[in-house]
Structure 1
Amino acid sequence: MMQWREGVVEDVRGRWPGAVEYAVRLVGEDDVTVRALAYTALVGEPEVGDRVLLNASALLRGLGTGGLAFVVAAPDRLPPDPPGSEGHIVKARYTPQQQMFMAVDEQDSPHHAVMTGQLASDGDLQGMPVVVADLHSALPAVLAGIRAERPDAKVVYLMTDGGALPIAFSRNVAALKEAGWLAGTVTVGQAYGGDHEAVTLHSGLLAARHVLGADVAVVIQGPGNVGTGTRWGYTGVAAGEALNAAHTLRGRGVAALRVSDADPRGRHRGISHHSTTAYGRIALVPADLPVAVTDDEFGALVLSQARELAMAATGDLTVREVGPDGLDDALRSSPVRLSTMGRGLDEDHAAFLHSAAAGRWAATLLP
């Protein structure tokens, strides 16, 4: 159930494309000020002193990624209607905050001719590498690995709808675009707010290649992976389906392993059970499984686990041993802070190194 609160905007704490973070003092609760995020496309930009209505459910439950309040409305300062659009694809469908977009693949799109052209209609990515990962935190590390090998590569990020639906929730995406590490974004399924909208991951991948001219695509859910501690009950299972989509469209699937040498949970030590399930059971097609080869006990463990995963997989996984030289420098050059499950690069180095290895391997596949 949604938990409502009323508040008054006290200060602006930060802003990035599509979102503003505020300090909001709650009404009727003495000296309680909370962080609250407003998506400007939904509610406009409240000003200091404005009354706002908040969804405080995640904040009150103390969630991690989404543990802040969200502005539902500034009832005394409603935003003007947006410019008219002929788009008719509704996302966040049948919720009070549903929105209508022009999807890249719909009939009135200026890109419809490309999307109905021979290559897109045939579902042909022309062998484009498609890097798939489980956690949103892998994105900058994958990009660092690509850039370590091919800094000229044009990379497009596709955000699926397993986590946050608005891409504006990700400050990392905004910063990576500003730094030139991303050439563009496509939001697929119920996710929204990218440079282009797509109805499905399949049409989103085709748009990345044939509309945006991507050399490499990276497919990862938005921030806020949902997990239950069970083998099948986590949103990262979609990583396996993304490999299936890439292969169906004649792309080259590259499976970024979720690895940790610091996670206290046994199921995530070494290669996470999320990777073994998504890539070992959900993926039914050939894909590359890059492993960063390091001369230590943990590196030997991950390589052994990867070989076991490839042997037992339902699909045809091929372990690719990737040299780590230069990857650490590439990771440390990231324009955003590397963080996964609250751990930084030096706290969980293996997590980022293996994501970067996937990026490097994908870059080696380019002509």
Structure 2
Amino acid sequence: MIRWRKGTVEGVRREWPGAVELDVSIDSDGTHRALAYPALVGRPEPGDTVLLNTTALAMGLGTGGYAMVVAVPDRLPPDPQGPGHLVKARYTPLQATLLGADEQDSPHHEVLRDADSLDGTPVVVADLHSALPPILAGLLAARPGARAVYVMPDGGALPAWFSMSIAQLKAAGALYATVTAGQAFGGDLEAVTVHTALLAARLVLDADVIVLAQGPGNLGTGTKWGFSGVSAGEAINAVAVLGGRPVASLRVSDGDARPRHVGVSHHSLTAYGRVALARAQVVVPELGGAFGTEVAAQAAALGERHELVPVGVEGLAEALAAAERDWGVRMSTMGRRLDGDLVYFLAAAAAGRHAAALLD
């Protein structure tokens, strides 16, 4: 279940809004990377004794392979102040009370109390967090200045603070704000459900375009249904029932070593082909060559339920490289960079480009 350890903070490696990365000496096990969320546990300082959950570290997980700081027992943070009745990470030892955008004490309650429509706002849905930067790159290359809001459900990381991409995109002005939905927390606004998160993004944050994808650290089992990103299909349904314009971003790869993800991932085919009951616009990137023909043929299976929208990718490779350079964000999916799986990023950027066209 959980591997518990005590450690001593040796120093701060780096930090970004909401998170601090540390070097921590763990008794008889050397020095390791650890991550703390100051809003939950306070800010650890060199010399502090910290209580750690080392499960992900021991498992050698990728993006989540940190020792997680659970407490600084000798220097507890002050009690929280102010309103807030939404409990997230409920009934766990780290449950947190937050102010929800839709709760009665919120200044946005009146706006959201009877809200029921996104008024046709485009919502780009993807199954991986790594799609967020390229979607924004495609959107903003076509429509500079568009206000984009990210809705993060609880399929991957629960704290939005875990994502360096969110912090970098906001600092660069590419992302306006984040709304965390369900058990996820740490966004600019908190919401009880994906539905209220979408409404808050449009009616409170005035989004031109909304991007919805799970946070970092998705969970998959190598089975058809056992993948946290299957919720992308449920997101399509939520957007449609609220009168938004759902845009489905396909997960495409020619660099993944797993055959089930080469071309159009089986997860996209399941989420959009089986779970999504509402009609969406599925963006099919025009990649050219034999591989592009294969992708189009795989995507055709979604044509009975959805509208297939071919979108050219001319100039998007340059837009992706420029976004990575200018925004300081690392384009990466499953450890592969732009030069290791360009078509993945092109497919996501094409979805952003199409969302921009819907603003005309």
Report the TM-score, using the length of structure 2 for normalisation: 0.97
Q: Distance in 1 between matches of 2:212 and 2:299?
A: 21
Q: Distance in 2 between matches of 1:325 and 1:260?
A: 18
Asked if 1:319 is matched to 2:308, the reply is: yes
Kept in 2, the 8 Å contact 1:147–1:330? The answer is: no
Q: Distance in 2 between matches of 1:85 and 1:229?
A: 44
Residue among 122, 143, 159 paired with 1:166: 159
Asked if 1:275 is matched to 2:268, the reply is: yes
Alignment-derived partner of residue 74 in structure 1: 72
Give 1:110's aligned amino acid.
P
Asked if 1:139 is matched to 2:132, the reply is: yes
Q: Distance in 1 between matches of 2:166 and 2:219?
A: 20
Give the aligned CA root-mean-square deviation in angstroms.
0.9
- Listed as ranges, the matches of 1:243-254 within 5 Å are 243-254=236-247
Secondary structure in 1 matching 2:303: helix
Give 2:41's aligned amino acid.
V
Asked if 1:89 is matched to 2:86, the reply is: yes
- Listed as ranges, the matches of 1:234-313 within 5 Å are 234-311=227-304
How far 1:80 sits from its partner (Å)? Answer: 1.6
Q: Distance in 2 between matches of 1:191 and 1:18?
A: 14
Q: Distance in 2 between matches of 1:324 and 1:208?
A: 28
Q: Distance in 1 between matches of 2:101 and 2:288?
A: 46
Give 2:300's aligned amino acid.
R
Asked if 1:44 is matched to 2:42, the reply is: yes
Alignment-derived partner of residue 183 in structure 2: 190
The superposition leaves residues 308-352 of structure 1 with CA deviations (integer Å, 9 ceiling, x where unpaired) of 2323xxxx3111111112211111122211000000011000100
Secondary structure in 1 matching 2:247: strand
How far 1:28 sits from its partner (Å)? Answer: 3.3
Residue among 333, 348, 353 paired with 2:322: 333
Kept in 1, the 8 Å contact 2:180–2:197? The answer is: yes
Q: Distance in 2 between matches of 1:64 and 1:326?
A: 31
Asked if 1:112 is matched to 2:109, the reply is: yes
Alignment-derived partner of residue 61 in structure 1: 59
Unaligned runs of 5+ in 2: none
Kept in 1, the 8 Å contact 2:111–2:203? The answer is: yes
Q: Distance in 1 between matches of 2:105 and 2:288?
A: 55
Give 1:54's aligned amino acid.
L
How far 1:296 sits from its partner (Å)? Answer: 1.5
Give 1:91's aligned amino acid.
K
Alignment-derived partner of residue 25 in structure 2: 25
Give 1:332's aligned amino acid.
A
Unaligned runs of 5+ in 1: none
Kept in 1, the 8 Å contact 2:287–2:343? The answer is: no
Q: Distance in 2 between matches of 1:69 and 1:269?
A: 33
How far 1:222 sits from its partner (Å)? Answer: 0.6
Q: Distance in 2 between matches of 1:162 and 1:264?
A: 24
Q: Distance in 2 between matches of 1:255 and 1:310?
A: 12
- Listed as ranges, the matches of 1:121-160 within 5 Å are 123-160=116-153
Kept in 1, the 8 Å contact 2:180–2:186? The answer is: yes
Asked if 1:227 is matched to 2:220, the reply is: yes
Q: Distance in 2 between matches of 1:251 and 1:324?
A: 25
Identity of aligned residues (%): 61
Kept in 2, the 8 Å contact 1:148–1:326? The answer is: no
Q: Distance in 2 between matches of 1:308 and 1:185?
A: 33
How far 1:243 sits from its partner (Å)? Answer: 0.2
How far 1:236 sits from its partner (Å)? Answer: 0.6
Kept in 1, the 8 Å contact 2:302–2:308? The answer is: no
Residue among 33, 36, 44 paired with 1:35: 33
Q: Distance in 1 between matches of 2:273 and 2:141?
A: 28
Q: Distance in 2 between matches of 1:63 and 1:152?
A: 37
Q: Distance in 2 between matches of 1:281 and 1:77?
A: 50
Deviating runs (4+, > 6 A) in structure 1? Answer: none
Aligned residues: 356
Residue among 98, 101, 106 paired with 1:101: 98
